[in-house]
Amino acid sequence: MMSSTTEVDPFLQVQQDVLTQLDSTRSLFTSYLRIRSLSTKASSPELVAARTDLESALAALAEDLSDLIESVRAVEADPTQFGLDAAEVTRRERLVQEVGGEVEDMRDELHKTRQEASAGPGSGDLPDPNSFSIPDGDGDGDGDGDYVAEFERQQQTEMMREQDTHLDGVFQTVGNLRRQAGDMGRELEEQREMLEVVDTVADRVGGRLQTGMTKLQFVIRRNEDRLSSCCIAVLITVLIIILVLLLVL
């Protein structure tokens, strides 16, 4: 029953798209912060391109997030219809809130950067990169370096997790190959024992055949000797009869 309901769960259909889009947007946001920290003018082509890409990604993510929110609202009315409990619904609501908060933080940082750039001294000069801050969930700001370092730590953690997963797969494959090699070794050993038994039986049968052939040759020689004796006796008898007939006649 659970498998049939989760197949039509609207949340699961959108969740993966939102998480994938969020990872891509995080990378663009990190790249934007790095380019902004190195740029001295707001009209820098690299900065403008990074800002445009980030704005497009945030817009697409906002659309997917809107669909995700609608899916949460759809299951809130009757969670049992989709095989869900209250804890799962709460988890989904928290996920939507966290993603929405992160999107708003990125948008606020973009808006803040534009305001500071337009209010800064000179024509299009950017303020000191060290003055930028990224608001967290409590409204307090950390430096760009802290935010980038946090993202780098997250990426490294994710990479290590993926490597662990790959290593687990490799270990499992090696274990399977080792078991298969053991099975093949046992089968070869059994076949070797069977061949030894066949060789022993063949030797025994060959010995019996040799003995039978020897006996057969002996019988043939004896039969040949008896036949010769009979022929000689018949010839002698015939000669005697002929001599008797000659004498009588």
Does the pLDDT at position 54 exceed 70? yes
pLDDT digits (tens, 9 = 90+) for 79-128: 777 777 888 888 888 888 888 888 888 888 887 766 655 555 444 444 44
Using CA atoms, how far apart are residues 22 and 16, in angstroms rounded to an integer? 10
Asked whether residue 79 is assigned to any structural domain, the reply reads yes
The total number of structural domains in the chain stands at 1
Which pLDDT belongs to residue 224?
Answer: 65
Predicted TM-score (pTM) of the model is 0.41
Query: What range defines the domain where residue 73 resides?
Result: 2-139
pLDDT band (50, 70, 90) for residue 129: very low
Lowest mean pLDDT among 22-31, 57-66, 187-196, 205-214: 205-214
Q: Pick from 78, 73, 84: which is nearest to 1 by CA?
A: 84
Asked whether residue 158 is assigned to any structural domain, the reply reads no
Does the pLDDT at position 161 exceed 60? yes
pLDDT digits (tens, 9 = 90+) for 178-215: 888 888 888 888 888 888 888 888 888 777 778 877 87
What tokens appear for 30 in the block?
């990190």
Asked whether residue 59 is assigned to any structural domain, the reply reads yes
- For residue 132, give the DSSP letter: -
Measured torsion, CA atoms of residues 189, 194, 195, 199, in degrees rounded to the nearest 10: 140
Asked whether residue 164 is assigned to any structural domain, the reply reads no
Asked whether residue 106 is assigned to any structural domain, the reply reads yes
pLDDT band (50, 70, 90) for residue 3: very low
Which pLDDT belongs to residue 81?
Answer: 77
DSSP run (H or E) holding 104: helix 86-119
Asked whether residue 135 is assigned to any structural domain, the reply reads yes
Asked whether residue 186 is assigned to any structural domain, the reply reads no
Q: Pick from 171, 141, 143: which is nearest to 36 by CA?
A: 143
CATH number of the domain within which 76 lies: 1.20.58.90
Asked whether residue 245 is assigned to any structural domain, the reply reads no
Q: In Å, what is the CA distance from 94 to each residue of 8, 110, 168, 178?
A: 21, 24, 31, 45
